Structures are given as C-alpha cells and as structure tokens.
Structure 1
C-alpha cells in the first residue's frame, strides 16, 4: 500500500471527500500522529514555563512547611508542659526556702509559709554549735580565756 494517498489534492475538504468516496468503510480508530515542529516548539516553551512555576511553588511550599513545622513544634512543647502540670497537679519550681530544725526533723518552708519538704535531721544539724571556726580565726579554741576580746 502507498504511504500517502490523495496528496496531489491541495484543498483539505476535497481531499476528505476523495477519501470518503473511495474508502470501503469509515471506522473510528485511535493512533499516534506526529506533532508538527511549530507546535513542538510551543509545547516545549509551555513545559519550561510549567517547570519554572512548579519549582517556585515547591520552594514556597518548603518555606511554608518549615514555618508550619516550627509553629507545630512550639505548640506541642507548650501542650506537653501543660499536660505534665495537669497530670501531676503540680509544677517544679526553684525558690528560696527557710530551713527549720525541730525534734530531729528538718522542715523547709516556702515564702508563703507552707512546708514543702521534710526529712530527718543529720547528726551535724541536731546540736547547734556555740562557736564556729571563723570565730577563732586560726587560734586554738582551748587557749582562749574569754578576756582577749
């Protein structure tokens, strides 16, 4: 069979009429048709523009995802802290406390006067000292008579 048929007819309508008149049947058929060079150039330009936009959108998405991730991380940290406080019904604080020793027990009180910690007294806490090392400043405490002040 010939590769081309009716190419000598220049008018497209007349060529279609010629093919219709001489065909044995007309059927719907799918096939691949080569694209003209001019249309290929247009498609290439379209592809380049599409890829540029895609690259820009992906960069914007990456930046937005990073920002969202940071916001989510901050909210999760706050949520974890609040959950821990709710779970324990208390929170850990560090503040000045006042130490009291009574009957072989040591108690620590906060500024509100509430007992926050209690333990048995250590041996060095049970008996108060009358003199400290700084009172003697290097001299022998047994040699002091009390008149050398």
Structure 2
C-alpha cells in the first residue's frame, strides 16, 4: 500500500471527493493523527501553562491541608483518649490517695478521697515497720478500749 493517496489534490474538498469516489467503503475509525510543528508548539505552551497552574493549586492545597491537619490533630488525640477510656470504662487520673498497710495480711491498699480502694499490693518491708498510726488503728480493731 502507498504511504499517501490523493495528495496531488491541494484542495481538501477535491481530495475528499477523490478518496470517496475511489474507496471500497467508508468507516469511522480512531487513530493517532500527527501534529504539525505549529500545533505541537501550541500544545507544548498549553502544557506548560497547565503545569504551572497545577503546581500553584497543589501548593495551595498543601497549605490548606496542613492547616486542617493542625486543627484535626488535637481532636483526634482527644478522641483516642476518649475511646480508650470508654473501652476500659475508666479514665486515668492523678490525685491524692491514702495508703493503709494491714500488718496481719501484709498488704498495702491505696484509697481515693471517696474512700474507694484504687490499688492493693503486697506491702514492702518499709511499710511493715510499725508506725504510731498503725498501732492506734490496730488497737481499735479489737473493739475494746482498755
């Protein structure tokens, strides 16, 4: 097959008429049509302009995303803490607790200001040393005030 057909007709209407009159059939067909040098240069310029605009929009988007990330971070941290607290049905607090050591059971218990036992563990050697408060408390356990 020839590379070119009907190029001798410079007028486009005449060339189309020649091709139509001499072909075996007409079909719609997709293909890659080469650009002329002028068209190619125009597309390159358009590509450069679109690329510049994309870069500007992406930079603005990064700035806005950073702003939103900054606003979201503390909320997400708070949510994580809240989910953990709900999951464990309690929250971690630091408050004054009162230590009591039972000399007989050799255990130490910590009570919060509501009087609830928050921790109980084996007593250490230092805690098993009798104090004046422990002696008074142990004397009151007998139920006699002799």
Establish whether TM, by shorter chain, passes 0.5.
Answer: yes
Q: Which structure 2 segments of 5+ residues have no match? A: 133-146
C-alpha displacement of 1:46: 1.1
Change over 3 Å in CA distance of 1:51–1:123 after alignment to 2: closer
Where does 1:112-131 land on structure 2 (aligned, <5 Å)?
A: 112-124=114-126, 125-128=128-131
Decide which structure has the larger Cα Rg and report it.
1
User: How large is the Cα RMSD of the aligned pairs?
Assistant: 3.8
Give the number of aligned pairs. 123
Q: Is the 8 A contact 1:96 1:110 kept in 2?
A: yes
Give the equivalent residue in structure 2 for 1:57: 57
**The 10-residue stretch of structure 1 (19-28 or 112-121) with the greater mean CA deviation from structure 2:** 19-28
Q: Which structure 1 segments of 5+ residues have no match? A: 130-149
**The 10-residue stretch of structure 1 (73-82 or 15-24) with the greater mean CA deviation from structure 2:** 15-24
Give the equivalent residue in structure 1 for 2:8: 5
SS of structure 2 residue aligned to 1:116 = strand
With the length of structure 2 as denominator, give the TM-score of the two structures. 0.55
CA distance in 1, matches of 2:13, 2:76: 70
C-alpha displacement of 1:72: 5.2
CA distance in 1, matches of 2:7, 2:92: 90
